[in-house]
Structure 1
Amino acid sequence: MASNNPHDWQPSATRQVLKQRAELMAKIRQFFAERDVMEVETPSLSAATVTDVHLESFSTELLASAHQSNDAQTLYLQTSPEFAMKRLLADGSGCIYQICKAFRNELAGRFHNPEFTMLEWYRVGFDHFQLMAELDQLMQTVLSCQAAQSLTYQQAFIDYVGVDPLTADIEQLKQQVNRHNLDADWILAESDFDTILQYLFAELVETNIGQKSPCFIYNFPASQSALARIDDQDERVSRRFELYFKGIELANGFHELTDADEQARRFTKDNAWRKQHGLAEKPIDDRLLAALQSGLPDCAGVALGLDRLVMLALQQTHIDNVISFSVNKA
């Protein structure tokens, strides 16, 4: 828990680690400069936020004046700069990247601080495979690691869970919970297909892949498409990928959805799920939808947890060790 102990004033990370971190940041900026990708900055506060059912944002109140709290406007700290960056893309920015603070209202842990640093970039004219290749180049540049491996979500599930996620029914998924001796009575009572999929993926796939070299998992189920396009060749899957290395989820990327109407439908569906499960509905970002309506260029984008990447580069075991002040010292 965060505290306000005046004796606990020193940084979470050592001076040496902070120096090494700064050198890594310079190397990353050079990587994008060599590829003519422009660095941008977008707001951390916004009038709207993500509807994603697995993310919770922080909110604050902007007062109209010091004495008129009834006129306060709710603003949200962004879970990623994605929506604002897409507005830049729609306005003709070309290829862009950003290194920024992002905020997610989740408990701090080994790999998560509620305020963290994100690297996000968008490549106009790229599909998800081209962006995966570029991310692989960045990983080799920063970590001096081997080239990444790639597996479809379907193949990874078959290899490590023992069932095809694109054809299995909910009972077949639950059978795998027992077959693998997973202590999860709550998941056996679960009725949401994707919740069970995600549990099995986290327990049996993530723990096995990407141990010696980074591993891409791509073509996620269409039900987990988020802001990615559905694949033209197989409507059961989306053009989405994630990157894992040494037990850490590092990045999440899409061949970006450009259809404003479809994006609006997904946001509305998220809010319906939230309402059904007793979660607060979130304001839909109408400015993003207007930008999509005006024309988002064909592009692919990816968000990468930069603190986690620094952890790997510097062989640190806890996120607190690579950031100046963790949440319990903030």
Structure 2
Amino acid sequence: MQDWRPTATIENLRRRAQVFAELRAFFAARNVIEVDVPALSQRATSDPHIDSITATCGGNSAYLATSPEFGLKRLLAAGMGDCYYLGKAFRNGEAGSRHNPEFTMLEWYRVGWDDHQLMDEVAALLCGVLQLPAPDKLSYRALFQSELGVDPHSATVSELRQLARSHFEIEFESEAAADWLDLLMSHVLEPRLGTGVTLVYDFPASQAALAKVEPDALGVPVARRFEAYVGGVELANGYWELTDAAEQHRRFEADHAYRRANGLPAHPFEERLVEALALGDMPECAGVALGVERLLMQKLGAGKISEVLALPFERA
């Protein structure tokens, strides 16, 4: 007989509800409005590292939202102002101690802010909910230089490959520096981050995703994005948002080209976001997405995501 019981304790589910209330109070105090966007869409993510879950609706293909980002940005372009979403997101094939195909995402946008202003608010939320001291802040370059003695913005693929293989064994080949940087970040650097909140910013331009690319203090183009970690676990990913419609379209097309070249599904991308950027009144803004279950795991000292979910996929 299949087990009908929740994997999280009732006490953890009650504490989960308390954290949700705390998150909503955080934004209410700052006049950030909660909004809703569809969880089922006619468009899929273009991100080559994320796979949408496909559904059928009225005989047509549909996709469960991997994040609320595109819907929220369309609302911003329509004049919504500061807003947030707290609800479900879905990603195909994501399972493990920190992953479930269905999970809760908190995503919010601040009009007129840049990535550094939003970093401060992310720190305030995390330090408040988790009762931690002030965060550590450092650039992506500073982290790589202090821990690995290499400048990630200028290192060659050969140098990064050799550095990675000096730290761990891996059967992997790539001619993209970004792939080796990702491996070094996840396998070497993240485990070295402290037990408190750490904010890492100014990622390589090749990892811009939907962030602006601007020159840093040394004149090197960098992605104006950041990631927030607690105890070496990534909790949030934020951007100074791209608002250029033509550049957004170019990045979507580049994602699709990568997908086709690597045998990945190339679903219809969200051209309505491009239209919103081109024809709407999209403000300069910064946005961030935060994994709520990962936040709860830190809050409750849980070792597995199933400890903070009532009914994870294996019991759904």
TM-score, normalized by length of structure 2? 0.96
Root-mean-square deviation (Å): 1.2
Gaps of 5+ in 2: none
Alpha-carbon separation, structure 1, partners of 2:204 and 2:94: 27
* Residue 295 of structure 1, CA deviation: 2.8
Q: Which has a greater percent of strand? A: 2
Gaps of 5+ in 1: 64-71
Contact 1:251 1:302 in 2 (8 A): yes
Partner SS state of residue 54, structure 1: coil
Contact 1:117 1:306 in 2 (8 A): yes
Alpha-carbon separation, structure 2, partners of 1:254 and 1:54: 17
- Give the counterpart letter for 1:40 in structure 2: V
Alpha-carbon separation, structure 2, partners of 1:266 and 1:122: 21
Aligned partner (choices 209, 216, 219) of residue 226 of structure 1: 209
- Cα-to-partner distance string for 1:123-142 (whole Å, 9 max, x where unaligned): 01111001000011101210
Alpha-carbon separation, structure 2, partners of 1:18 and 1:178: 42
Q: 1:108 to 1:218 in 2, by over 3 A?
A: same
Name the counterpart of 1:135: 122
- Cα-to-partner distance string for 1:288-323 (whole Å, 9 max, x where unaligned): 111111231010000000011011111111110001
Contact 2:164 2:180 in 1 (8 A): no
Contact 1:162 1:176 in 2 (8 A): no
Alpha-carbon separation, structure 2, partners of 1:107 and 1:54: 11
Contact 1:78 1:102 in 2 (8 A): yes
- Give the counterpart letter for 1:9 in structure 2: W
Query: 2:166 matched to 1:179?
Result: yes
Name the counterpart of 1:23: 18
Partner SS state of residue 111, structure 1: coil
* Residue 205 of structure 1, CA deviation: 1.1
Alpha-carbon separation, structure 2, partners of 1:274 and 1:286: 17
Query: 2:308 matched to 1:308?
Result: no
1:206-225 aligned within 5 A: 206-209=190-193, 211-225=194-208
TM-score, normalized by length of structure 1? 0.92
* Residue 235 of structure 1, CA deviation: 4.9
* Residue 232 of structure 1, CA deviation: 4.4
Contact 1:58 1:104 in 2 (8 A): yes
* Residue 55 of structure 1, CA deviation: 0.5
Alpha-carbon separation, structure 2, partners of 1:107 and 1:117: 13
Alpha-carbon separation, structure 2, partners of 1:16 and 1:76: 34
Name the counterpart of 1:60: 55
Partner SS state of residue 101, structure 1: strand
- Cα-to-partner distance string for 1:200-225 (whole Å, 9 max, x where unaligned): 1111111111x231101111111110
Name the counterpart of 1:280: 265
Name the counterpart of 2:39: 44
Give the share of equivalent positions with the same residue, in percent: 44
Partner SS state of residue 147, structure 1: coil
Aligned length: 313
Q: Structure 1 stretches (4+) deviating beyond 3 angstroms?
A: 232-235
Contact 1:111 1:308 in 2 (8 A): yes
